[in-house]
Amino acid sequence: MTSVCSAAFLRLPLLLSLVLLFTGCFSYKQVELKDITNISVEKMDGKGIAVRVDALLDNPNGYRIHVLDPDVDLYINDKYIGKGILDSALVLDRKTTRVYSVPLHADLQGGSLLMLLLSGALTGDDVKFGAKGTVVGKAGLIRKRFPFELEEQIDL
């Protein structure tokens, strides 16, 4: 029994070293949304809307970050239209600042989308697209949830 305990005791420094090394490799620096360069409506019908958001993102970390599990509320002219769903995987390259094209869609939940858009267009008001929520960033075994909010004028 003492040989088992002493063997485990000898492995403890190795295990602690690996944990410290692993956490040191994944020290996290905040990813920054620097700008929204474009928002375009890809598709719109009575059931929902599909948009493409071109976002300038800065990932200062030395590893790629996979964006997962969005919980995003979408708005047109401050009226809720539905939950945003990513249409494809988004992976932020390591140590880069670049524009990522993010396709997402929402099934209509907040009334008639067409009426919301036409009300702004007919009165000459700008049509405002908004998104607010959180996403999960994943790198290796580490996961972290990040809040965000954006608002932009869109052309129809």
Cβ atoms of residues 63 and 140 within 8 Å: yes
pLDDT tens, position by position, for the chain (156 residues)? 544 444 444 444 544 444 444 444 557 788 888 888 888 889 887 788 888 989 999 999 999 999 988 889 988 888 888 898 889 889 999 999 999 999 988 888 755 555 555 555 555 667 788 889 998 888 888 888 888 888 887 765
* Alpha-carbon gap, residue 127 to 115, rounded angstroms: 12
Supply the pLDDT for residue 90: 92
Instruction: Please tell me the pTM assigned to this model.
Output: 0.70
Cβ atoms of residues 127 and 76 within 8 Å: yes
